[in-house]
Amino acid sequence: MAQSGWGASYAAGAEPIERESRGSKMSWVGHAVPARTYDRGCSPPRILLTVRKSVSRNQLFTGLFILALVNGLAARVSQGLDNFDVAAIAAAALGVSAVVWFACVAALSLVLRKTRAEAVKTVDAFVGFAVLFLVAVPIKELSWFALAALAVYVIWTLQADSVMRRGALIFLAITVPMCWGPLLLHAFAKPFLWTDALFVSNLIGTEQTGNLVKFADGSGYFQIFPACSSYHNVSLAFLGWISASQFVERKWSPMDLVWCLLAALSVVAVNVTRIGLIGLYRDHFETIHGTFGSTIADCVSLGLILAICLLGVRREIFART
């Protein structure tokens, strides 16, 4: 008869065995219990297994990049989409710089290239869920934050010569003029605008008080607001160079900083000159400050950025032809 208590087993169909304690004549009969092992925490969740079987690592990153980018850009035209206003949608699209659109095309063309398939890692899946959560929240800045965070993760984990890593660098640079640059300018507007006013006042030879600059004819002062700051286009200059250099697979060198700085200084010079013309010719304030003057300045800045970037990567371009 089986003894109850610690020696007993309740496993159905177990064979009885007899054990004898060492150094004692006492024996007891129990039932053999089949051993059970548990692999706790070793098997990945079912949803992760599904993701691993469905997509490769690069495909996962590409889909997340596209989702975060489209969601961030869609926030610019959300009002037009709500009212089905084609004019508002077109105006919002034109409000995004051509440099940003070029960067988007360059980054997407890189991440969509076919590469060696790698299995999705557990950390990749968690990063993907975090990106999906941030994109789902109806705050436009979070989409750009998700894009930047994903780009940093890809840059950190992939090899330096990876095509996906080059595309991630461009995506990270895109978030600067679209999100971080305006936020930084808004948070530290006073020193930035003071610097703009200093440049303009020295250019036209008049007085400066904070972000106020005196007209050349002495009739009064005009104020420089954040929307007119030269630093908006500085981030576009850096984005243009990063996009061009990564697209043609240019290896980094100290000259990259020189080209970036040259592009940035060129767009600052254009904007300072435009504001300086406002100070010199008060009677033409509306023309220079309005749509006509803004369009001319943007076209000149875009042309300088394009020319400097093409000049900097000319060797890589000619090597491909």
What are 200-230's pLDDT values in tens digits? 999 999 999 999 999 999 889 999 998 888 8
Query: Do 152 and 197 reside in the same domain of the chain?
Result: no
Same domain, 260 and 244: yes
Per-residue pLDDT reduced to its tens digit, 166-202:
999 999 999 999 999 989 988 898 999 999 999 999 9
Here the tokens at position 148 are: 């930047």
Task: Verify that 67 and 124 share a domain, yes or no.
Answer: yes
pLDDT of residue 200: 95
- Would you say residue 141 lies in a domain? yes
What are the residue ranges in the chain where pLDDT is below 70? Answer: 1-53, 77-94, 321
Domain assignment present for residue 144? The answer is yes
Whether residue 217 sits in one domain with residue 257: yes
> What pLDDT shows up at residue 37?
46
Domain total of the chain: 3
Residue 40 in any domain: the answer is: no
pLDDT at 85: 63
**Residue whose C-alpha is closest to residue 250's, from 295, 172, 313:** 313
Residue 286 lies in a domain: yes
Neighbours of 244 (CB within 10 A): 26
Q: State which residues form the domain around 218.
A: 188-321
Q: Are residues 179 and 53 in the same domain?
A: yes
Task: Look at residue 260 and tell me if it is in a domain.
Answer: yes
- Which of 187, 216, 236 marks a domain boundary? 187
Looking at the fold, whether 96 and 218 belong to one and the same domain comes out as no
From residue 151, give the alpha-carbon distance in Å to each of 137, 156, 172, 251.
Answer: 19, 8, 6, 19
For residues 97 and 202, membership in a common domain is answered with no
258 and 297 part of one domain? yes
First and final CA of the chain: distance in angstroms?
A: 91
253, amino acid identity: S
Would 140 be classed as within a structural domain? Answer: yes
Residues 138 and 243 reside in one and the same domain: no
Looking at the domain assignment, is residue 210 inside a domain? yes
| Last residue of one domain, picked from the residues 187, 214, 237 | 187
In a domain, 78, yes or no: yes
Residue 59 and residue 15 in one domain: no
**Who contacts 11 (Cβ-Cβ below 8 Å, separation ≥6)?**
31, 32, 33, 34
If you count DSSP H runs as helices and E runs as strands, how many of each does the chain have, helices first?
15, 5
Same domain, 198 and 256: yes
User: Are 211 and 163 in a shared domain?
Assistant: no
